[in-house]
A and B are shown apart, each in its own frame.
Chain A
Amino acid sequence: MTSAREQLQPRANVIIEAEKPTELPLQKCLDGVGISLLSEWDVLIFVYRHGASLTTVDQIARLIGYPSGIVSDTLDRLEREELIERSRPSRGVRFYRILTSMDSRRWLYLRQLIRLSESRAGRLQLAERLKAPFSDSGRKKQAS
């Protein structure tokens, strides 16, 4: 069994082991992952951080502070984009997990964004770059 410490930093996937800490442009990472709304990022990172969440849309919405409708739409979109996977529903409850089978390039972009978001400055940078779900452009994207 490999050391836990060795494995900790690049969490979740062996692909990350080969990753070089190169700084890629933020927009390139966002495009590479395929997200443009802040709500997408917030839902995606919630699912990532919670590993396997056995929960309801309402609970995710309550925990991250978004209306349930937005979270529901976002989850649909993230699943379509093959960023997350959901189990079958059981009385409104599903398992939500990050899709580990995504390609290595996309993982690299995602890891870069996660690393960026781990600092306050990085979070502000992301929030600035991504469209707020309540802005005009955000609403359009949300509706699409």
Chain B
Amino acid sequence: MATDGLIKTGIKGLDSILLGGIPRTNVILVQGVTGSGKTVMGSEFIYRGAALYNEPGLIVVFETSPEKLIRDAAGFGWNLDELQQQKKLQIIFTSPEVLDQELRSPDSLLLETAKEIGAQRIFVDGIGLLNTNLVDSNSVHRTYRELLQQLIESLHRENLTAMFSLELGNAHDSIAAAAGSIDFLADTIIQLCRERHGRRMQRSLEILKSRGQDYEGGEHTLHVTGGLGLEVFRRVQAPLPAKSIQPTSSTMRSVIGVEAIDTLIGGGIFDGSTTMVVGVSGVGKTVLATQILREGSLKQKTRGLLISLDEHPAQIIRNAQTLGLKLEEQVADGTIQILFESPQELDIDAHYARIVQIIEERDIQRMVIDGMTSYSTAIGEVGVYRDFFHAMVAYSKQRLMTTFFNYENPEFLGISSYMPDFPLSSIVDNLILLSLVEINNSLHRCISVVKSRGSKHSFDTREFVIGQGGISLVPLQQNQVPGLPLQSYSSLLSRAPTRFSLPTRIENGATVEGKK
């Protein structure tokens, strides 16, 4: 559908879910329980129309005091008084009886006012109250459905795009029954919900129908923010818009920048590939992440994003500094962004939207999520957790962005599965294991590349150390284990390092394996 036939709500995030807006003169019903944001949505629809699109509007209220409506709107930064003075808005306090009469009257004062200000939009707050007015001025009894039809007909005749609010839930029976009638008559139905999740309250929005257009279905997150108004966040698991073309896989390799690791992985990883780095706490996942982004910024000139739910940016920068990785320079010049959000009450749709916004605004080419375990705790629902990562992987691939997911495996010595939460390992392209191996009485850090799609990678488990400059592999020739190098052992990752009976010898720089 051509977008010039659409009316924009101007509500942040909503028009994109409506794929541009709502067909002009559609009758829009906003329904929901008390406190779900219906009046705010109607007021914002009118306010944005007048302030952004030069489409004056009327707000008709039956029970809300206009004075309080103006006061509450001011809390969102909307100056309704000023718009009234500019004749771009008129708030009208009336009764359902009068509204009904007015919209059917040839010399209607309300329609006269609409004409005077050139109104193109109208919001009627509390349409369910019309259900109490079923006898007209000529004492003719009508059904609620007839009354609504008359009302809608009048608005259509005047070419006004109307938004009605309808309270669901605690309303009395007649209003609840009325919802059925208006559901059919309305062209667009937006359902607002206000539900408890654990001990917190969450608002959501769903387009139940919208005649004459396509839209993004499902339950999207709704925020009501002081000083701003409403903001709708597309649900993360919604498939990418069909118009977005999946780019063909790149044949370009993105060098991680840690030479030895690049060698292990077969000369770097493909641009736009996704890599999971699995390891226990303290093994060096965050150091590797920092190094990947810093090296990318310094040597590959790629812009990076580090996302953490665990560590504040200042702490990440400080820790990197202790290893001589001066991250603050890249953070200061904007080549590396650090996004930290508290895992407490994490709103995943809003979080995802924030990530996408940073990536698009900053043209991020390399991203690290550090780490996924905190998402599991913060989100709670496995389905939503899984959807978030599927969405992140799909989005990364669509942008050909090289992405690393750090996953903290709870198993300390040896692991029985890469990721016990759900099998994400199958959808990533590369899998790197960082392990702690106990030899004699000390722990050693090891790295193994388990999978690297399209690459001829090494299957050797190599010892690495963390020091100035970050992670570096221990040269094969160098004995870290007293007396024996790491390659003298088998079963390193299965909690049972076993020493070869004949020690491995190094001859002219090459390893000569012994026998068990």
Contacts and interface: CB of A to CB of B under 8 A. Distances in A.
A144 interface: no
Interface string A16-44: 00000000000000000000000000000
A59 B95 contact: yes
Given A50-B65, A90-B108, A91-B105, A7 B74 contact: yes
Residues of A contacting B: mostly: mixed
Nearest to A13: B85
A83 to B, nearest CB: 17
A54 to B, nearest CB: 4
Interface in A42-98: 49-56, 59, 87-88, 90-91, 93-95
A39 B79 CA distance: 31
A4 interface: yes
Contact of A11 (B51, B81, B92): B81
B349 to A, nearest CB: 28
Residue from the set A2, A4, A5, A11 with the largest chain B CB neighbour count within 10 Å: A4
B262 interface: no
B319 interface: no
B67 A49 contact: yes
A94 B74 CA distance: 28
B91 A51 contact: yes
Interface residues of B, number: 33
A91 B349 CA distance: 51
Contacts of A1: 51, 79, 82
A8 interface: yes
A7 B51 CA distance: 16
A54 B102 contact: yes
Interface string B78-111: 1111101000001111110011011001011110
Contact of B70 (A8, A53, A59): A8
A124 interface: no
Interface string B276-293: 000000000000000000
Interface of A: 1-5, 7-8, 11-12, 49-56, 59, 87-88, 90-91, 93-95
Closest 7 CB pairs of A and B: A4-B79, A4-B74, A50-B93, A51-B66, A54-B94, A8-B74, A53-B93
